Structure 1
């Protein structure tokens, strides 16, 4: 049975998706952008956006009974090479001991002002 976790953002209903889905021992967290959690505005800095993405993802994982320590796959989408270079050390800080697989893609992100979007697959198994 799949358990769906919602963040309560309008795009979930509009686009018909859940923020996270728990399927057995696997947790799939949707691509998450780095809006400031208080103001709702994207910081100019890709590093801050990445930190906001990871904090929001960790919150979703905690609601599913896990944390970033349970990550097995990390997919990172950035808008340019400068953002990729800025975000890579943040990923290293967070995942240095965890070591999930990682893909970093340069692409267009549909949210105006977003420089980073991160998607995580995690496991509830130890």
Structure 2
């Protein structure tokens, strides 16, 4: 049996070409979605509100997963990176909206992000159904 070739998925963001990465990589049934911020890639804008950023992160991730043949329901691992511990609680309802039923394994980190406008970044790993 031969392995399926890796598939690279792009959001169309100029950051991907500048940094040399893909929004997501599909390897067999596994989908690895890069850390995703709250930028709206169609307008290249970002809200100042952390909950709006979190919602946009999930929409960006869902779009990448869809291109990979998966969905948020297939996510098995999530990593949240916040720039401020105070932003965590306001985002809980957003996180629950998207993952309340899925309940993937999770990690939460407080760290600086490359652009001060970014308040949250979310990375996921999904396993596509057979």
Q: 1:108 aligns with which of 99, 109, 112?
A: 112
Per the alignment, residue 43 of structure 1 pairs with 47
Indicate the SS of the match to 1:42: coil
Indicate the SS of the match to 1:21: strand
CA distance in 1: counterparts of 2:42 and 2:111, whole angstroms: 27
- How big is the alpha-carbon RMSD for the aligned residues of Structure 1 and Structure 2? 1.3
CA distance in 2: counterparts of 1:115 and 1:90, whole angstroms: 14
Aligned positions of 1:1-126 closer than 5 A: 1-125=5-129
Is the 1:37–1:52 contact (alpha carbons within 8 Å) kept by the matching residues of 2? Answer: no
Per-residue CA distance 1:15-66 (angstroms, 9 max, x = gap): 1111100011100001111023554222111110000000010000000011
**Is there any run of 5+ residues in structure 2 with no aligned partner, and where?**
none
**Is there any run of 5+ residues in structure 1 with no aligned partner, and where?**
none
CA distance in 2: counterparts of 1:41 and 1:8, whole angstroms: 14
Q: CA deviation at 1:119?
A: 0.6
Larger radius of gyration: 2
User: Moved runs in structure 1, 4+ residues, more than 6 A?
Assistant: none
Q: CA deviation at 1:91?
A: 0.9
Q: CA deviation at 1:93?
A: 1.8
Is the 2:11–2:41 contact (alpha carbons within 8 Å) kept by the matching residues of 1? Answer: no
